[in-house]
Every structure is written in C-alpha cells, then in structure tokens.
Amino acid sequence: MTSRFPLTRLRRLRESQALRRMSAETSVSVSDFVYPLFATHGRGVREPVEPMPGVYQMSPDQLAEESMEVSELGIPAVLLFGLPASKDAVGSEAYDPEGIVQQAIQSIKQAAPGLAVMTDVCLCEYTDHGHCGVLTGGRVDNDATLELLARTAVSHVEAGADVVAPSAMMDGQVGAIRRALDSAGRSDTPIMAYSAKYASAFFGPFRVAADSAPQFGDRRGYQMDPANARQALHEMELDLQEGADILMVKPALAYLDVMARARRRFTQPIAAYNVSGEYSMLKAAAANGWLDGDAAAMEALTAIKRAGADIVITYHAKEAARLLANGR
C-alpha cells in the first residue's frame, strides 16, 4: 500500500452501481439460502408466529403449497421443525414414523421433489420438560440421548429427508447418527452439524414458534458459552472427525468472528444460522419505521457471507430471494 492521495482515490470504484457491482468482494445469492419451516398437525392450518412476522406454523398440506413457492423462488432447501400432537419425557414423537416431521417431509417431497429437505434432529420440541435430551436425575443424560437422536435421524431419512441436522449439542451426536444412518443403508445421506451452537437469548422467538422452551433451568449445560471462540473450533473439529459434512455456527450476527475463524481453519462447507431473534429484532424495528427492513436484511445477509458462510439458514430467505430477483 504505497500509493497515496491524490493518486489513490477509493471513491473511483464507488461512483456507479455498475462499478460497485463489478468490484464487490462478496455477493449474496438465492442459492445460499435454507428456509426454516414449522410443521404442525391438522389440515389447512396456517398459524402466525407472533414475534416472527411472515413465519407460520403450517400443517402438511400448507407446507406442500409453501414448498412449491419456496422452490419457485429458487431457494434450494428448507429446514424442518415439528410441533408434536403430544409431548412426553422421552420425546416419542420425534422418532415416530408417523410423526409430524415425517409426515411433513413426505408432503413436501411430493409437492416439490427438487427442493432439498433438511430436518432439525433434536428432542426439545417433543419432550414435556423441553430439554434437548432425556433426563436422568433431573440432568440431561448425554449418552442415553444419543440413541434417540440416532433413531430420529434414521426415521427422517426413511420418510425422505435429504440432510439431517443434529442440534441437541450432545457430545458424540454426529458419530452416533453417522453410524445409525450407515447401518440403515443410508451412508449417502449428509449430516449438517450444529457444531458451534451457543446458549443464546436470540433463540427466544423460535421457542414460541416451536413451543420448545425448557420448563426448568436453561440450556447452558449443553450449549456453548457465548464467551468462547476457540472452543467452537474444537467442537467443529470433533464433528468433522465424527463424520459431519457441513459445519454450522449459530447464531450468526453476534458470532461473525467465530464464522471468520472457522472459515480460515476448515475447507468444508460452513452454514450460518441467522436465528429467530435476529429476524425478530429487525422486523420489530422496521415495523416501527426505525430502519429500512429490506436494506437491513440484505446488509445482514451480506455480512454473514463476508464472514465466510457458504450456506445461510434464514427466515429472510423468501423476501431476500424476491429482492435479489429485483436487482437489490
């Protein structure tokens, strides 16, 4: 960097839209997006999620219509969550072949065969205590949970899921799922590991959407401490050793440093989860007229890509796809 003003004028390449587009270091593409969907029992159900404007709990028939729209917008994948008919101590509906997610997968695959269906593999939506694993003596029992997560993943794949995404933050969960899938003859199914998943207040609105708030305590005994970044790399390293195909950093915006470090360290695809609270904050501010919601969403998505994400899981996917199609 030897040249000096007035020889160097960085504004030269900022003058026109064409030059800005040409010289942009990062771009956001609809091909990067994964759109989260919430499946609920019934027919014709499209229940708004209050803190997340534009997000709904939908019955399988509605998800079929939704997935056609998502697919037509060019979004390559959805990530499915489920609201069971009933909850119990061991989260039985999570691995029920007739469970809500299993039904939703079939309905989506039938309506939009080209859309990749990813499924969240966890127990918190299905347990009556709301924790991500089964309890032994009031504590989340890591090893007893592994078998149930593995069963859940296999049942999703048997229903037609293309990718499974374990999010329970149990040690060894990726390995347990990889072995179970392989034994079930599904060695070609990829695993997207929620590797660096933090115990975050930004999941608040999701817990309304998925009815998955813990009924006692919190998730700090298994999800990561927001103070840690080196440990995120350790989590990712372990998940790779256990057979993960895609690594994830979650949440996204408050953890872009973690994303950037992970990007430098690993060659594998990395996903960022632009979580519910990040979406709700932006929507709430936009609804108050306090910022331009479309511009803020595109800026946030650009920042996530700039930090190094290959894949962006975001509730903004549909609106961003439309903005991108209109040259934004």
Of 72 and 147, nearer to ligand PBG (C-beta) is 147
Using CB under 5 A as the binding rule, whether residue 224 contacts Zn ion is answered as: no
What is the Cα–Cα distance from 99 to 46, expressed in whole angstroms? Answer: 18
Distance of closest approach, residue 124 Cβ to Zn ion, in angstroms:
3
Residue type, 25: E
Contact between 124 and Zn ion per CB under 5 A: yes
Which of 122, 233 has the CB closer to ligand PBG? 122
Task: Give which of ligand PBG, Zn ion, none residue 119 binds (C-beta under 5 to 8 Å, depending on kind).
Answer: none
> In the complex with ligand PBG, which residue's Cβ is closer, 67 or 167?
167
Q: Are 297 and 282 in contact (CB under 8 A)?
A: yes
Which residue's CB is nearer to ligand PBG, number 28 or number 313? 313
Q: How many CB atoms lie within 10 A of CB 152?
A: 29
Tell me the one-letter amino acid at 232.
Answer: A
Is residue 117 a contact partner of residue 160, using CB atoms and an 8 Å limit? yes
210 is an interface residue for Zn ion by CB under 5 A: no
Cβ neighbors of 307 (< 8 A, separation 6 or more) are 256, 257, 259, 260, 263, 272
- Which parts of this chain interact with ligand PBG (CB under 6 A)? 120, 122, 124, 132, 167, 203, 206-207, 212, 219, 275-276
Residue 232 binds Zn ion, judged by CB under 5 A: no
- Measured in whole angstroms, the distance separating CA 298 from the mean position of its chain's CA atoms is 18
Which residues from 100-119 bind Zn ion, rule CB under 5 A? none
Q: Which residue is nearest to ligand PBG (CB)?
A: 206
Compute the least distance from the CB of residue 213 to ligand PBG, in Å: 8
- The CA-based angle 87-250-48, given to 5 degrees, is 50
Q: What is the dihedral of CA 111, 112, 113, 114, to 10 degrees?
A: 170
CB of 263 to ligand PBG, least distance (A): 21
239-259 b/e (C-beta count within 10 Å ≥ 16 → b): bbebbbbbbbbbbbbebbebb
* Amino acid letter for position 250: K
- Residue 193 CA from chain centroid, whole number: 10
Under the binding rule (CB under 5 A), the answer on residue 94 touching Zn ion is no
Residue 100: enclosing H or E segment and its boundaries? helix 100-111
Residues 129-168 that bind Zn ion (CB under 5 A): 132
C-beta of 101: minimal distance to Zn ion in Å? 13
87, 197, 283, 318: the catalytic one is 197
87 is catalytic: no
Residues 28, 49, 122, 149: which binds Zn ion (CB under 5 A)? Answer: 122
Instruction: Based on the residue annotation, tell me whether 197 is a catalytic residue of this protein.
Output: yes
For ligand PBG, the closer of residues 207 and 265 by Cβ is 207
Shortest Cβ 142–Zn ion spacing (Å): 13
Please give the residue ranges that form the binding site for Zn ion (CB under 5 A). 122, 124, 132
Active-site residue set:
197, 250
